[in-house]
Structure 1
Amino acid sequence: MNRTIVVLAAGMIAAALVPGVANAGGAKVTTIATGLDNPRGLTFSLDGDLYVAESGKGGTDGCFAGPEGEACLGSSGAVTKIAKGKQKRILTGLPSVAAPAGTNALGPTDVAVKGGSLAITVGLGSDPAQRGKLPEAAKGLATLRTDGYRGLKTIADLGEYEATANPDGGLPDSNPTSLVVSPWGYTAADAGGNSLVGVGPGGHLFTVATFANHDGAQAVPTSVAQGPDGAFYVGELTGVPFKPGSAKVYKVWPGKEPKVFADGFTNIIDVAFDQRGNLYVLEIAKDGLASGGPPVGALIKVNKDGSHETVLDTGLTAPGGLTIKDNAAYISNCGTCQGEGSVVKVALKK
């Protein structure tokens, strides 16, 4: 399994966009939120409020040698609500692991809305057994949590499922990075486990699909969206050596082998559909994570014939998440930045 922490591969970088409006890559871009800590997945509620998961900035609960260097644990993960031109952290105190400078964090990775409650995936990026060697806050890593009227609670331990079920049969490694509401409850993409995992009533966990190695690298499925046809569409980062053009989007029907829906992408970090059923792909690094320098992302539209149309390929530095509403794409930008992350709105063609 992939032992490279997905977000850490981007390296330590600076903020990409100055608040305001710009024309980049032919699309109109507006910054609607700033000052975020390692922002990742986003979603809208039915009333039009936007929620974004912040992986936090680590903390002072103890530092240790992580896969990508020194890492410090804390409870700085959060969820921010953006509504009526204002932003506010509405959930705080979630687990977070980051470099000493607060960058390249692992913590809350995605957020979904179901029945008036928020559900949050929390990443890990290593063998789930490592949690037992760390301070108390680490217990919340590699879990799915919901925010009900009694507060936050863990409804599924995705790390434990990886350790016991080990869907793809490799070395234990869990890093839940994406979440979608499903007919049975929720479905999460585990980038570390190379798997798509269903979460049913009572926190029952089951394997929806696994993703095989190809082109000399692991799949590393970072994103999942449910299409208008009801199938799951899964985008992959691909592992080391992060070969440009090798990432694919798979179409998944539960109980069947994943089928390639579109290919030719580089390091996919998220996928989303618009109201017309068009698929959009967000690349964290359009030239590949091993190309050197700050990773420049790209937003790509996938046409019905499988061809690609670039919507935006400048102004995005290591973007972390994507959602679409009313002919606009909303992207969490600078997804590995402490205090300098943002959310940008990108106008789409009608």
Structure 2
Amino acid sequence: MAVVGLLSGGSLIRAAEPGPTAPVRPGVEVVAHGLDNPRGLAFGPRGELYIAEGGRGGPGPCRADARGRTCSGRSGAITVAGFGRQWRVEAGLPSVASPAGAYALGPSDVTVTAEGDPVHTVRRDGGPAPRAGMAQVNRRGAVLADLGAQETPGDPVAVLATAQGYLVVDAAGDALIRVGRRGRVQTIATLPQRTPATEATSVAEGPDGAYYVGERAGRIWRIEPGRDPRMYASGLRGVVDLAWSPSGDLYVLDGTDLLRLGRRGTRTVVTAGLTAPGGLALRGRDAYVSTCATCGGTGAVLRIRL
């Protein structure tokens, strides 16, 4: 899902009622519910789970494009789930969606810095034109990088905090970009253009220090700065998100399934038939997956025992 921009926020906006806790299937529990197009996930320093909500558009202006009729508004949000409740730490973020609030373009990913500050992708305005920006909480929303202001506008769909700043996946350029803490933008690698067409979706840092980038065409690339990308896995249906476990296994949201890619090349289906999954995070012996990522008001986050 193409979204643009990076912002961070920290003021409490509103609380939501706690979600249901009964397992929806053995080993699966709902930890957040009532979400608008939930996408990327990240854990904070106290174990709280940050959720990027794409929003559900709004009253307009509206326009017709290749996706049909869409309307803009400020319904995007960053929600936190933890300590037996869920609440929004930032709301009123730009969002574009169908009149029914589905298939939203808005905040698509969130990461948390070592200092505990959430940073997330978002549109800077309510319109469909690709624009981007990133800021930190302690900078009061000051933009650190604007990929949409470049000669070729970027389309950042994923973000990962690192010691040097942030890694950003640009779906428009199929590139992995580093944004320094002072806003310097540097392209680390561009994925080879192949058939089917490449569309980068996600990034995770591996136990070997390399970066692993997933793409919608069903491939995963291993990237070391200064070297050409090397294909790590192929033949998948479509990588939505990925995350490494402490044991060295790579977990992948592939289409509607959660897979485990073992160190010896094995592939195991952990959970199949997820409803429009949008994001993945690991903590302890559990995987957390956002579902119904194209739904307004009925999205959820599941905890899946590994």
TM-score, normalising length from structure 2?
Answer: 0.88
Question: Could you tell me which of 21, 24, 33 is aligned with 1:22?
Answer: 24
Conserved 8 A contact 2:176-2:189:
yes
Instruction: State the identity %.
Output: 40
Deviation at 1:340, TM superposition (A): 0.3
Partner of 1:201: 181
How many Å separate the matches in 1 of 2:120 and 2:191?
A: 23
Deviations 1:22-78 (CA, angstroms, capped at 9, x unpaired): 33xxx6111111000000000001111110000101112311123311111111110
Matched ranges for 1:104-253 at <5 A: 104-114=103-113, 115-122=115-122, 136-138=125-127, 142-149=131-138, 151-161=140-150, 164=151, 166=152, 174-214=154-194, 216-238=195-217, 247-253=218-224
Conserved 8 A contact 2:132-2:155:
no
Matched ranges for 1:64-75 at <5 A: 64-75=63-74
Deviation at 1:138, TM superposition (A): 3.8
2:275 is the alignment partner of 1:276:
no
Conserved 8 A contact 1:107-1:141:
no
How many Å separate the matches in 2 of 1:154 and 1:62?
A: 25
C-alpha RMSD of the superposition: 2.1
Partner of 1:267: 238
Deviations 1:206-256 (CA, angstroms, capped at 9, x unpaired): 111111222x32210100001111110011002xxxxxxxx1111001121
The residue type equivalent to 1:118 in the other structure is P
SS at match of 1:154: coil
Deviations 1:161-196 (CA, angstroms, capped at 9, x unpaired): 3xx2x4xxxxx6x43111111232000111222111
Partner of 1:308: 267
Which blocks of at least 5 consecutive residues in structure 1 are unaligned? 8-17, 124-130, 167-171, 239-246, 286-296
SS at match of 2:27: strand
Which blocks of at least 5 consecutive residues in structure 2 are unaligned? 4-19
Partner of 2:16: none
Conserved 8 A contact 1:119-1:144:
no
Deviation at 1:86, TM superposition (A): 0.5
How many Å separate the matches in 2 of 1:145 and 1:235?
A: 22
Conserved 8 A contact 1:275-1:325:
no
How many Å separate the matches in 1 of 2:22 and 2:140?
A: 35
Pair 206,139 (structure 1): closer, same or farther in 2 beyond 3 Å: farther
How many Å separate the matches in 2 of 1:281 and 1:84?
A: 27
Partner of 1:90: 89
Partner of 1:288: none
Conserved 8 A contact 1:122-1:140:
no
Question: Could you tell me which of 326, 329, 340 is aligned with 2:284?
Answer: 326
How many Å separate the matches in 2 of 1:139 and 1:318?
A: 23
Q: How many residues align?
A: 289
Deviations 1:293-333 (CA, angstroms, capped at 9, x unpaired): xxxx100000112221110112x111000000001000000
How many Å separate the matches in 2 of 1:141 and 1:150?
A: 23
Question: Could you tell me which of 341, 345, 350 is aligned with 2:299?
Answer: 341
Partner of 1:127: none
Deviation at 1:261, TM superposition (A): 1.1
Partner of 1:34: 33
How many Å separate the matches in 1 of 2:128 and 2:198?
A: 26
TM-score, normalising length from structure 1?
Answer: 0.78
The residue type equivalent to 2:22 in the other structure is G
Deviations 1:263-289 (CA, angstroms, capped at 9, x unpaired): 221111100011222110002x3xxxx
Pair 303,282 (structure 1): closer, same or farther in 2 beyond 3 Å: same
Conserved 8 A contact 1:41-1:321:
yes
How many Å separate the matches in 2 of 1:6 and 1:144?
A: 15
The residue type equivalent to 1:84 in the other structure is F
